[in-house]
C-alpha cells in the first residue's frame, strides 16, 4: 500500500473555467511523484470522457507501471458485479448459478416493450402522445432515477401522482398502469438474470457495497480519490463517497458552482454541496483562466440581468457580442455560416467553433451542414437522444443490410430508400441522378435485385456519369458476392456491417470516406448491433439463428428505439471540424472553444424543458418532498434556474466571442420573443447599442 506524507481531504469549488481540474491534475501528479501507485488512484467522473485529462497526466508522470482508474459509479458497479456475482445474486433475487446479462439502453427497451405493447393495444396510453419506445424509455428512466436517488422504484407512482394533484385527467390511471408494467418487467429480468442500469445500481449499493468481502477487496485496491464534477453526479454517488470517506488517504472533491446540467439525468447539485462538510480544507477559485476580459464581463452582465450577481462590470460586454436582426430563419442561418467562413478564413481552426441550439432537429442540422460543406468547412454533430432510424447514414446501412439478406423475410426496401442510400454512399451522386439510377437498376417487384450498370442505355449512363456508375458497380458486385457467402454461412449482423464499412463505404469514392458524421454513426450502429447480439446470445449454446437476431434488430430500429450512446474514442475537440450540437450536449462534455454561435436566441425552447408525461426530473429527486404538488410556479422557477445555468455555463466555456443568431420569425412563421432574447436586450440597453451590431 502506497503512502503520502500529508494526507488531505479537499473540497475545491468555483465556476467553470477557473482551473479546478488543472489544480486537481497537479495534485495527481504530486501523488505519483511521491510514490503513489497509479492503480491506487480512483478518478470518479459523471462520464469517462471527462476523465481523459487525468489519464493523460498520469501517463506522462507515472514512474511505475499501472494506470489510474477513470470510471463512473455504474462502471464500478458493473465490473464488480461481474467479479462478485455469486455473493449477491441470491440475496438480490437472481439465479446465482447463471451469469448476469448486462443490458444497454437499447436492449432494456427491447425487453420493456414486451410489456408495453399489450397495454398500448388495450388503450391505456391513448391519452398521451407517445410511441412505444418513448413509453419504454420513460419507464426505464423512472426506475433509473429512483435507483440514483436511493428509493424503491415502487415509490415513483406515488410521487408522480402527488405532484400531478387533482387535475382532471386520466394521468393518474396512466401512472398506476406504468407501475404495473415496471413491476412485470423487473420480475422478468430477475427470472432471466437481466440487469439494466437501475438494477445494477440497486444490487451494487444494497448488496455488494456493504459486503465484507467486497469492502476488503476495494480497500486494498484504492487509497486515493479524485471526484470531479460531483454536481453532475446523483445522490448514490455522493453516498458512495461518504461510505468510503474514512478509508481514503487523500480525497479531492471538485464542484462547479453553477453546474447541474445533468439534472434531467439524475444529477443533484444540492446533494453534492453537502459533501463540503466532510472536508478539512475548502478552496474556492473565482478568477477565470479561459475567458477573455470581454467574455468575462458579458458573463457578469448576464448574471446581473438574471438576478444572480451584483458585482460591477468593468469592461463593456459589447465587445464579446455580435449579432444582426433577421426577419426570416434562413437569413439567420446564412449569417451564421458567413461569420464562420470569415473566422476560418482568418485562420481560426474549425474545432474552435461551436454552433449550439436548444434542440437540433433534422432540418436545422441539414441546413447548417449543407451550408458549411458548400463553403468547404468540415462539421461534426452529435444528438444524444436521436433514434438510429432517423439518421440518414444509419438508414443507408440498414437498406444495404436488407439488400444483402433477402432470405430474412422482410419486404424489399422501397425504391425511395434505395435512391437515398445511393445518394449517401456514392460520392458525387446527387439525389436526382440517384433516383434515375434506381428507377432503372432496382427491381423492387422482383425481390429487390440490382442489375448491372452496363445494361443501361449509353445516353442515360452519360447522364449518371461513368464514374458514379463504376462506384455503383463496385457496391453491387460486393453485395452480390457477400450475399452468396451469407446464404451458405450466416454471420452476425455486426460482422456484416463492419465488413461493409471497411471494405466499401470507407474507401475513396464512397460517401463515408471523408464524412465524419457518417463514420461516427456507422461505428455507433455496429456497436449497437454487437451489444444487441451479445445480450440475446450471451453464451455459447451452439450456433444461433443469425437471421432471427437480424430480424429482431431491424424491427427494433424501425420502431424508433433510441440508440445506445457510446462515447467516441476521439474527443470532438481533437477533430478538425465545427461542432454542431444541442447546448446541453456541449455543456455536459465540458468543452471550451474560442467562438460560440447560439442559434435562434429568441426561441422559447432555450428555457422550456422537454415534455415527458410519464416522468419528472425534479419530482423524482431525493430532496423533493414526497407528496408535494408541483405547481405552475414551481415549473417557472425551475425554468429560470436552468436558463441561468445554461447561459452562464455556455459563456464560461467560451474564450473570445459569442455570436447570437436572431430571427423575428421562426421556422413555422411565428414571432420569437423568448426570455433569452429579453436578457440580451437588457444588456444592450444598459451598456449601449450600435446600429445592427453590438
Q: Please tell me the predicted confidence (pLDDT) of residue 428.
A: 87
Q: How far apart are alpha carbons 436 and 143 in whole angstroms?
A: 50
Q: Please tell me the predicted confidence (pLDDT) of residue 631.
A: 93
Instruction: Compute the average pLDDT of residues 544-566.
Output: 75
Q: Please tell me the predicted confidence (pLDDT) of residue 432.
A: 93
Q: How far apart are alpha carbons 658 and 529 in whole angstroms?
A: 40
Residues 337, 338, 341, 347: is their CA dihedral positive or negative?
negative
Q: Please tell me the predicted confidence (pLDDT) of residue 554.
A: 86
Q: How far apart are alpha carbons 445 and 314 in whole angstroms?
A: 72
pTM (two decimals): 0.87
Instruction: Compute the average pLDDT of residues 149-172.
Output: 91
pLDDT tens track for 479-516: 999 998 888 888 888 899 999 999 999 999 998 988 87
CA 90, distance to chain mean position in Å, is 34
Q: How far apart are alpha carbons 318 and 295 in whole angstroms?
A: 9
Q: Please tell me the predicted confidence (pLDDT) of residue 5.
A: 47
Residue 571 has pLDDT above 60, yes or no: no
**b/e map 411-420, b = 16+ CB within 10 Å:** ebbeeebbbb
How many beta carbons lie within 10 A of that of residue 661, not counting itself?
Answer: 24
pLDDT-derived band at 250 (thresholds 50, 70, 90) equals: very high
φ, ψ of residue 159 in degrees (nearest 5): -65, -45
pLDDT tens track for 31-88: 988 888 888 999 999 988 888 889 888 877 666 556 889 999 999 999 999 999 999 9
pLDDT tens track for 390-427: 788 889 999 999 999 888 878 889 999 999 999 999 99
Q: What angle do CA 331, 336, 342 make, to 5 degrees?
A: 125
pLDDT tens track for 586-639: 998 889 999 999 999 998 889 888 888 999 999 999 999 988 999 999 999 999
Q: Please tell me the predicted confidence (pLDDT) of residue 646.
A: 94
Which residue has better confidence, 324 or 212? Answer: 212
Q: Please tell me the predicted confidence (pLDDT) of residue 156.
A: 95
Q: Nearest to residue 346, comparing CAs of 515, 594, 581?
A: 594
CA 293, distance to chain mean position in Å, is 32
Which residue has better confidence, 447 or 529? Answer: 529
Q: Please tell me the predicted confidence (pLDDT) of residue 573.
A: 56
Residue carrying the nine cell digits 470531479: 228
Q: Please tell me the predicted confidence (pLDDT) of residue 315.
A: 83
**b/e map 148-161, b = 16+ CB within 10 Å:** bbbbebeebbebbb
Q: Please tell me the predicted confidence (pLDDT) of residue 4.
A: 42
Instruction: Compute the average pLDDT of residues 531-551.
Output: 73
Which positions ≥6 away from 547 have C-beta within 8 Å? 405, 407, 408, 409, 490
Residue carrying the nine cell digits 439567420: 332
Which residue has better confidence, 490 or 13? Answer: 13
Amino acid at each position: 500500500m502506497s503512502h503520502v506524507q500529508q494526507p488531505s481531504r479537499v473540497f475545491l469549488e468555483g465556476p467553470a473555467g477557473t482551473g479546478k481540474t488543472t489544480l486537481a491534475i497537479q495534485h495527481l501528479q504530486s501523488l505519483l511523484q511521491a510514490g503513489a501507485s497509479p492503480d491506487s488512484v480512483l478518478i470518479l467522473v459523471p462520464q469517462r470522457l471527462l476523465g481523459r485529462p487525468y489519464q493523460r497526466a498520469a501517463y506522462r508522470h507515472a514512474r511505475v507501471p499501472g494506470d489510474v482508474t477513470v470510471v463512473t459509479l455504474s462502471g464500478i458497479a458493473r465490473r464488480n458485479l461481474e467479479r462478485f456475482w455469486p455473493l449477491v445474486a441470491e440475496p438480490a433475487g437472481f439465479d446465482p448459478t447463471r451469469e448476469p446479462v448486462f443490458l444497454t439502453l437499447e436492449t432494456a427497451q427491447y425487453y420493456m416493450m414486451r410489456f408495453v405493447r399489450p397495454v398500448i393495444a388495450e388503450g391505456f396510453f391513448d391519452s398521451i402522445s407517445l410511441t412505444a419506445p418513448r413509453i419504454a424509455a420513460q419507464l426505464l428512466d423512472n426506475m433509473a432515477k429512483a435507483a440514483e436517488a436511493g428509493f424503491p422504484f415502487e415509490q415513483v407512482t406515488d410521487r408522480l401522482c402527488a405532484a400531478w394533484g387533482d387535475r382532471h385527467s386520466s394521468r393518474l390511471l396512466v401512472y398506476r398502469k406504468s407501475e404495473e408494467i415496471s413491476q412485470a418487467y423487473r420480475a422478468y429480468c430477475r427470472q432471466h438474470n437481466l440487469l439494466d442500469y437501475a438494477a445494477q445500481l440497486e444490487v451494487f449499493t444494497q448488496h455488494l457495497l456493504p459486503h465484507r468481502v467486497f469492502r476488503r477487496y476495494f480497500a486494498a485496491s484504492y487509497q486515493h480519490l479524485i471526484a470531479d464534477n460531483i454536481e453532475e453526479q446523483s445522490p448514490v454517488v455522493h453516498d458512495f463517497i461518504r461510505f468510503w470517506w474514512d478509508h481514503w488517504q487523500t480525497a479531492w472533491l471538485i464542484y462547479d458552482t453553477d453546474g447541474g446540467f445533468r439534472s434531467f439525468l439524475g444529477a443533484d447539485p444540492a446533494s453534492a454541496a453537502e459533501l463540503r462538510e466532510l472536508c478539512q480544507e475548502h478552496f474556492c477559485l473565482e478568477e477565470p483562466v479561459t475567458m477573455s476580459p470581454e467574455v468575462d464581463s458579458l458573463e457578469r452582465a448576464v448574471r446581473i440581468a438574471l438576478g444572480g450577481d451584483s458585482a460591477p462590470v468593468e469592461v463593456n460586454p459589447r465587445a464579446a457580442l455580435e449579432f444582426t436582426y433577421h426577419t426570416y430563419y434562413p437569413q439567420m442561418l446564412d449569417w451564421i455560416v458567413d461569420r464562420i467562413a470569415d473566422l476560418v478564413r482568418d485562420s481560426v481552426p474549425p474545432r474552435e467553433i461551436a454552433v449550439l441550439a436548444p434542440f437540433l432537429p433534422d432540418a436545422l442540422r441539414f441546413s447548417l451542414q449543407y451550408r458549411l460543406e458548400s463553403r468547404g468547412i468540415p462539421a461534426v454533430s452529435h444528438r444524444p437522444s436521436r433514434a438510429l432510424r432517423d439518421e440518414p447514414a444509419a438508414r443507408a446501412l440498414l437498406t444495404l443490410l436488407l439488400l444483402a439478406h433477402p432470405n430474412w423475410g422482410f419486404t424489399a426496401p422501397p425504391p425511395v430508400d434505395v435512391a437515398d442510400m445511393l445518394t449517401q454512399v456514392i460520392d458525387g451522386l446527387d439525389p436526382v441522378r440517384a433516383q434515375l439510377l434506381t428507377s432503372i437498376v432496382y427491381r423492387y417487384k422482383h425481390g429487390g435485385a440490382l442489375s448491372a450498370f452496363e445494361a443501361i442505355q449509353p445516353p442515360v449512363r452519360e447522364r449518371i456519369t461513368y464514374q458514379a456508375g463504376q462506384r455503383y458497380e463496385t457496391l453491387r458486385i460486393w453485395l452480390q458476392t457477400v450475399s452468396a457467402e451469407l446464404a451458405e454461412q450466416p454471420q452476425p449482423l455486426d460482422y456484416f456491417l463492419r465488413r461493409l464499412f471497411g471494405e466499401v463505404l470507407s474507401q475513396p469514392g464512397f460517401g463515408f470516406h471523408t464524412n465524419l458524421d457518417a463514420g461516427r454513426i456507422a461505428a455507433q450502429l455496429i456497436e449497437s448491433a454487437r451489444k444487441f447480439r451479445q445480450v440475446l446470445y450471451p453464451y455459447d449454446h451452439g450456433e444461433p439463428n443469425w437471421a432471427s437476431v437480424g430480424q429482431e434488430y431491424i424491427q427494433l430500429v424501425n420502431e424508433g428505439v433510441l440508440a445506445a450512446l457510446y462515447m467516441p474514442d476521439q474527443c470532438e475537440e481533437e477533430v478538425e471540424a465545427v461542432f454542431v450540437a444541442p447546448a446541453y450536449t456541449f455543456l455536459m462534455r465540458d468543452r471550451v472553444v474560442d467562438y460560440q454561435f447560439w442559434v435562434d436566441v429568441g426561441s422559447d425552447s432555450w428555457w422550456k424543458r422537454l415534455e415527458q408525461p410519464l416522468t419528472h426530473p425534479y419530482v423524482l429527486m431525493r430532496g423533493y418532498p414526497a407528496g408535494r404538488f408541483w405547481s405552475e410556479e414551481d415549473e417557472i422557477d425551475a425554468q429560470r434556474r436552468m436558463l441561468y445555468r445554461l447561459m452562464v455555463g455556455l459563456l464560461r466555456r467560451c474564450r473570445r466571442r459569442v455570436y447570437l443568431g436572431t430571427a423575428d420569425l421562426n421556422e413555422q412563421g411565428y414571432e420569437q420573443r423568448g426570455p433569452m432574447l429579453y436578457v440580451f436586450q437588457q444588456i444592450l440597453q444598459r451598456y449601449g447599442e450600435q446600429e445592427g451590431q453590438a
